[in-house]
A and B are shown apart, each in its own frame.
Chain A
Amino acid sequence: MAFAMHSMNDERFFDLAMKAIARQCTDAERAELNALLARQPELKAEFERLRAEVRVAKEALPLVEATEASAGELPAYARERLQTKVRQTLGRPASSEAARKERELNLLWRWRWVLGLAAATAAVALLVMPMFQSAPQPIIQVAMLDLGGPSRGGDTNEVALLQQSWPGTNVENFSDAEALQRWETSWPAGKGRTVARIIYDRAAAEIRVQVKTERGTFTKTLPVGPNLATAVKQAAEFVRAQVQR
């Protein structure tokens, strides 16, 4: 059992014992301690016990104190030796973990570019695709009214010019105004599709353009001067502008 201080006497005994063990006793204190030990022989065992404890304390305390030391600088030559030990023991290459992480990050960043580009492409595709889907290719129809009939050589050149301006379309040749009128009032099927009609009326020396979209039907009449190509070009621009709106 450890000795417990319950009274002034116990406290005094402890202090005297400590001072005696630490060789700090005055003569008077030494005499007082001896008198106490003589009066209470059981304190002799306690005194020896305290002496043993102090011995261990003297062994342990310096180590405890040294463990908490905070002064001193690692010699420069030791650092590389210790880092070598770290690499050998913990299995890291000479380059630091930071460098490795940096490499991984760089790689990741490179992939991020790719992934970012892919994401951007996908986003653009998502935006653009519906545009194409909602705006299918317009139907282009071209007709020419030539009341004199298609026998003249100049007609051939004019038809070629019209076909060249709207490739892939057939130029309908009408020699009857009523037939053309019926054609003009009969729109092809195709809900939601834009239809553009270009009618070259040689007799009237004009090009009538009709563009029917979801927004409505737009028309324009272009006079044909000495150069048909100019009017054809204007007609083509009008069609293009209406289709793209």
Chain B
Amino acid sequence: MNPPDLRALRDGDEAAWDAAFDWLWPTAFAVAQLGLQPFLPEEIEDVAIEALEVLVEKVREVDTAEELKPLLASITHHRAVSLLRERFAKKRGAGKTESLDAPETNGEVKREPASLESPLDALAARELAQRLRESLAALKPPQGEILSDFFLHGLRYEEIAKKHGIAVGSVGVCLKRGLEALRRIWGLE
């Protein structure tokens, strides 16, 4: 699916927005799910829809249609974090003596989300969107995937090499370059 026609979106074209919502929905849902799935899964769809509504208000602030997804991801992330903060603050403020651990569900103990302490949350929506956009541009395939495989999915060097058809010795080089790119983008110098 191609990015929508930004001019038509700015004009409020119903058909263009219909196509745009289909294009944007996976991003909104995935980002909302990322933060809320362990704690407030019933809120995922609502947060994603609310984020899309906010994006409609901001469509005249972007220069290209390609900016829409990172901006939407940023909006969704902030809304999810706000909702988590609100819910967990209520829990603490209600004078309950229970621990910050949420009730156990399906054998998993729900703890207060670590994302509430994330440095990403200190970034304003537009700044976060900008960094996401830069990250998407910098991590050319398969670099981003290799980073995710190693840091997020726990794959070993050998598994990554096999998955992507590269030499085991190239995995470390790829990780190093990816980390350098993220350092530049996320301001860790």
Contacts and interface: CB of A to CB of B under 8 A. Distances in A.
Interface residues of B, number: 62
Interface stretch (B86-94, B95-103, B148-156): B148-156
Nearest to B138: A64
Contacts of B178: 57
Nearest to A69: B30
Contacts of A82: 17, 21, 49, 52-53, 56
Given A22-B154, A54-B151, A83-B17, A67 B27 contact: yes
A131 interface: no
Contact of B31 (A14, A63, A73): A63
Contact of A56 (B17, B154, B173, B186): B186
Nearest to A90: B12
Contacts of B156: 24
Contacts of B41: none
B12 A91 contact: yes
Given A60-B182, A66-B31, A78-B45, A90 B56 contact: yes
Interface residues of A, number: 48
B161 interface: no
B150 A18 contact: yes
B188 A56 contact: yes
A177 interface: no
B30 A66 contact: yes
Contacts of A11: 172-173
Contacts of B56: 82, 85-86, 89-90
B12 A86 contact: yes
A11 B175 CA distance: 11
Interface string A208-231: 000000000000000000000000
Contacts of B25: 72-74
B118 A59 contact: yes
Contacts of A68: 27, 69, 136
A68 B31 CA distance: 10
A97 B13 contact: yes
Interface in A8-40: 11, 14-15, 18-19, 22, 24
B183 A86 contact: no
A18 B132 contact: no
